[in-house]
Amino acid sequence: MLSKHRSHKLWLRLMALMAIVLVVSACAGPATQTTTEMEAPAAEMEDADGEMMDEQIFRATIPFFAQDWSPLRGGGWNMHYLAFWNAGPMYIDEHGALHPYVFNEWTPNEDMTVWTFKIDPDAVYSDGSSITAHDVVATWNLIAHPATTHQRVTLFLTGVAGFEDVFNGEAMEMPGVVALDDSTVEVTLEGPDPLFHKKIATNLIGPVKASVAIGEDGFEVAEWWHPKNNPVTSGPFMPESIDLNRGVVTFVKNPNFWLAEPKLDTVTVTSIEDTTIVTTMLANGELDQGWPPNDATSQQLLGSDFFECSVAPGIGGFFLNPNIEPTNDINFRKALVLAVDREQIFNLSSPDGRGWTPTGEPLRALPGQDPDFVPHPYDPEAAQEAMAASAYSDAADVPKMIMAGVSSPGTELLAQYMAEQWRQLFGIEAIEMSPQFDSYEGPSQPALFRDGAGVRVPDSALMLLGSLHSSSNLARNIMGGYADPEVDALIEEAVTKAADDPDRVALSRQAQRLFHEQWMIIPIGTGCGGSAKGNVMPWVHGTRRNADAQFLEPWTIYIEHVEE
């Protein structure tokens, strides 16, 4: 009886404890939410659905739980929105034309090894202070350094005197970047580069205010970009609140933006990983922009215009590794390539038939596109002949091949399609499909690797430098250390030619031809550089995107609901 009594009390206590924990945690919950103010205008929008609103809100979303909103990373999904809050040196529009931004003047010296840039006297940060040459120098030194983990800095600053030392963490400053006065930056290159000014025309290396972002030790201040630390930015908008746990970031108008007054009042970027949620929210008018998969369901709900695409340079595909078995055999590579029908690849990638059949030409859609380029055909018989001529005429001798980078439902389909062709034609069954992008060495080195490369400046030589040259990520990592001395020499010569020198294109085409004859890639994709207007709903106007994956002139974007 006694024990029963005690247990009763215990029960009561346990229940009371649970109730207390519930109350406490319920109270603690709202306290951690700092963005309730942001929800209010959103609700207002929904109430007056379909009407032109005074409050202009652009609600964007990324399919990734972004934790790092520093403008100095040069990568990550959130970098698609960098143009909203960070001004670059210059920018290139969707037609390839160069526009001034922070820099409004650029002049090279005679032999194209020293470039002088002038900062627009009107260019100011969100706190009203001028953008100075010292900020530019400090920012570029900072992003070159490994501690800042900028993901693409080599694309922009390679060739600057002293870049390598900083890049490898052996120095803190590049002697090649100097502030001549408050508004003049002088860049000394190790060799001639006629297109250096276009290379730096990107938001990914826009200057940040050194006194705010850089500590006394010369490194980036942790979370200086977070609104709680009163950051200073240079773009048309500035961060108002960042809730990393909920994945919601809110930007508001930068009152001091020098070029124009932004039409939008607020920009929100929400992390939503589940694609069904994104599609549903877009269809329900709760989002204005997002990256849903381009499939039948999304097209039905969002309208096919949502995925409107424009031709964009770049190359994508399954790249073959010429340095491991069995893909080191050129006949084997030839057999694999010939066995795949590019038309079917296109049908699988583009359910609405938008886009272009992939050709595997790196210079496609660039001024240097080769009119004589003949894509590899789909020819099962020739494929079987090539296989018979290879060292692997007996399918049982083929070592297992790993297809890496099979990371999305779309690429899973393509990989399975290709594997099935090879199984039917050659009897090859030992293929492993791995979502990983890892393991470039050892027993799990992939024979085929799905990836791609684009180019920010519409230029043939730069495109090849970033995709076929042995220093590029594609050659070094994706193609398992592809290094063709002839190709390298042609590209290295081409990049030194002036932009309008016909040799620049001619040399590039020659390099491309050599590469093409080596059967190195099974091209995939639709030739679209993503959506031209950035996957926005019909009521969003003025969105344009460039090859830098940035929204162009985001101050021109506005929302207008049109009654149907």
Partner 1 sequence: MGQYILRRIIYWIPALLLLAMVVYALAFFGAGDPIKLMFLREEGDVTYDAQRLDAIRREKGLDRPFLMQFGEYVWHLVRGDLGMSVISGRSVNDMIAATAPVSFQIGIATVILVALIGIPLGILAGLHHNQWIDNTILGSALFISGIPSYVVGPMLMVFLVLGLGVMNVPYGWDGLFSRKAILPMFVMVFGSIAIIIRQTRAGVLEVLSEDYVRTARAKGVPEIMVILRHMLRPVLTPVVTVLGQMLIGIVNGAIIVEKVFGIPGLGRLTIDFTYGVDYPVIVAITLIGAFLVMALNLAVDITYPFLDPRAGQAMTGIED
Partner 2 sequence: MTTQELSATSGIELAQASRSNLWQDALARLAANRLAVIGIIPIVLLFFVALFGPTLTPYDFLAQDFTARLDSPSREHWLGTDELGRDVFSRILYGARTAVSVGLVSTAISLVVGLIMGSLAGYLGGRVDILVVWLTDVTRSMPALLLAIVINLTLKVPLEAWMEQLYLETKNTFFRQTMWVDLVLVFGALALIQWPGYARLIRGQILSIRSRNYVLAARALGMPTSRILTRYVIPNAMGPLIVAVSAGLGGAMVLESAFSFLGVGVQLPIPSWGKMISDGLRMWQTHPHLLAGPAVMMAVITVSFAWLGDGLNDALNPRQWK
By C-beta, is 131 or 461 nearer to partner 1?
461
Distance CA 125, CA 208 (A): 9
Tell me which of 274, 372, 381, 563 binds partner 1, using CB under 8 A. Answer: 274
Q: Does 276 bind partner 1 (CB under 8 A)?
A: yes
Residue 302, token pair as written in the block? 């969002």
Residues of span 327-346 touching partner 2 by CB under 8 A: 344
* Size of residue set near partner 2 by CB under 8 A: 33
Per-residue binding letters, 232-271, with partner 1 (x by CB under 8 A):
-----------xxxxxx---------------------xx
The answer to whether residue 476 forms part of the interface with partner 1 (CB under 8 A) is: yes
| One-character DSSP codes across 236-287 | SEEEEEEETTTTEEEEEE-TT-SS---S-SEEEEEE---HHHHHHHHHTTS-
Contact partner, 406, from partner 2, partner 1, none, Cβ < 5-8 Å per class: partner 2
Per DSSP, the three-state class of 164 is: helix
Q: Enter the tokens of residue 357.
A: 């059949």
The residue whose two tokens read 């006297």 is: 121
Rounded CA gap, 251 and 254, in Å? 9
Give the integer Cα–Cα distance in Å for 156 and 16.
62
Residues 429-488 contacting partner 2, CB under 8 A: 429-430, 432-433, 435, 439, 442-444
HEC secondary structure over 479-534: CCCCCCHHHHHHHHHHCCCCCCCHHHHHHHHHHHHHHHCCCCEEECCCCEEEECCC
Binding partner selected for residue 472 from partner 2, partner 1, none, CB under the kind-specific 5 to 8 Å limit: partner 1
Q: Which of 219, 356, 417, 558: binder of partner 2 (CB under 8 A)?
A: 417
Nearer to partner 1, 250 or 467 (CB): 467
SS3 548: coil
Q: Could you tell which of partner 1, partner 2, none binds residue 18, using a CB distance below 5 to 8 A set by kind?
A: partner 1
Q: Does 284 bind partner 2 (CB under 8 A)?
A: no
Nearer to partner 2 among residue 175 and residue 377 (C-beta): 377
The CB-of-423 to partner 2 minimum distance in angstroms stands at: 7
Residue 222: CB minimum distance to partner 1, A: 6
Q: Smallest distance, Å, CB 378 to partner 2? A: 12
The burial class, CB within 10 Å (0-12 / 13-18 / 19+), for 15 is exposed
Interacting stretch for partner 1, rule CB under 8 A, among 62-70, 88-96, 378-386, 389-397? 62-70
Smallest separation, CB 400 to partner 2 (Å) = 5
Considering the complex, state which of residue 224 and residue 426 has its C-beta at the smaller distance from partner 1.
224
Cα gap 70→286, rounded to integer Å: 27
Binding residues for partner 2 restricted to 299-328, rule: CB under 8 A: 300-301
From residue 247, alpha-carbon distances to 97, 238, 240, 468, 536 in Å are: 35, 17, 14, 37, 20
Q: Where on the chain is the footprint of partner 2 (CB under 8 A)?
A: 275-276, 293, 295-297, 300-301, 344, 347-348, 396, 399-400, 406, 409, 412-413, 415-417, 419-420, 423, 429-430, 432-433, 435, 439, 442-444
